[in-house]
Amino acid sequence: MTQRTHRPDGIIVALDGPAGSGKSSTAKALAARLGYRHLDSGAFYRAITHAALQAEIPVERWDSLTPAELDALEVHGAADGAGYHMTVAGRDVGEAIRSERVNAHVSRMAAVPSVREWLMDALREAGARGGLVADGRDIGTVVFPDAELKAYLVCAPEERARRRLLERGEPDVAPEALRAEAARLQARDEIDSTRAVAPLTQAADAVLVDTTGMEFGEQVERLARLALERAAGG
């Protein structure tokens, strides 16, 4: 485990894993369980992706986006109670950043070095005092390598697909829809795990948690126990 750092508001819990493994929902519930704030790093990348698409910046130009161009998109994440809410040009984009169009492009945006550098300071500043549960795809490996607790969540592709479709309000999941969604998730895994910048990978000191057969409350409680042990110096 990494060397402990004193943080006045508590420890940092970093949850990583592929899309659909339950990171965001687990992180949000875990933060509430611990009385911590929840930081969804993916929401920041989604907001930038949404803003770039709305501004009609060609995808082919994203790799050359400059800090000035990113500033001009007016993407902000503001602390809001137990978490953060995303705005673009002053407008709330909480629903818009979950669209299919953003889903199809966010991995490409997240691989842009200038975007990752632009966001890194904001994410680290959010966790400076601790008392934070953060989730993403490189939270424990890149953003908070000194997090007191790191966990890497995995789940079988078809179960991940089923959860995603249920989240979108599709209670009767047809087999062909399930297969198509599983294929999309696996394609995204391939992009995320093979990108040159901050690829999706399990930190050496992360706890592996397979959520495939777990009830949601069970996985939250397992992580809560680990977090409380780390906070107590265990």
Structure confidence by residue, pLDDT tens digits, 116-137? 889 888 788 888 889 999 998 8
Tally: H helices and E strands in the chain: 8, 8
Q: Is residue 146 part of a domain?
A: yes
Give the global pTM: 0.78
**Which of 31, 41, 28, 40 minimizes the C-alpha distance to 11?**
31
Quick check: helix, strand or coil at residue 2? coil
pLDDT at 1 over 60: no
pLDDT tens, position by position, 3-41: 556 788 899 999 999 887 888 899 999 999 999 999 988
Q: Is residue 218 part of a domain?
A: yes
pLDDT tens, position by position, 203-226: 999 999 999 988 899 999 999 999
Q: Domain range spanning residue 176?
A: 12-224
Q: How many domains does the chain have?
A: 1
Give the pLDDT confidence score for residue 45 in this predicted structure: 92
Average pLDDT over residues 147-164: 91
**β-pair partners for 13:** 133, 149
Of the chain, the percentage scoring pLDDT greater than 90 comes to 51
Q: Is residue 107 part of a domain?
A: yes
Q: Is residue 6 part of a domain?
A: no
The residues, any chain, with a CB within 8 Å of residue 232's CB and separated by 6 or more, are: none
Q: Is residue 233 part of a domain?
A: no
Q: Is residue 190 part of a domain?
A: yes
Give the pLDDT confidence score for residue 2 in this predicted structure: 46
Give phi and psi for 80, each to the nearest 5. -145, 95
**β-pair partners for 11:** none
Distance CA 182, CA 160 (A): 7
Q: Is residue 27 part of a domain?
A: yes
Q: Is residue 3 part of a domain?
A: no
Give the pLDDT confidence score for residue 88 in this predicted structure: 95
CATH number for position 46: 3.40.50.300
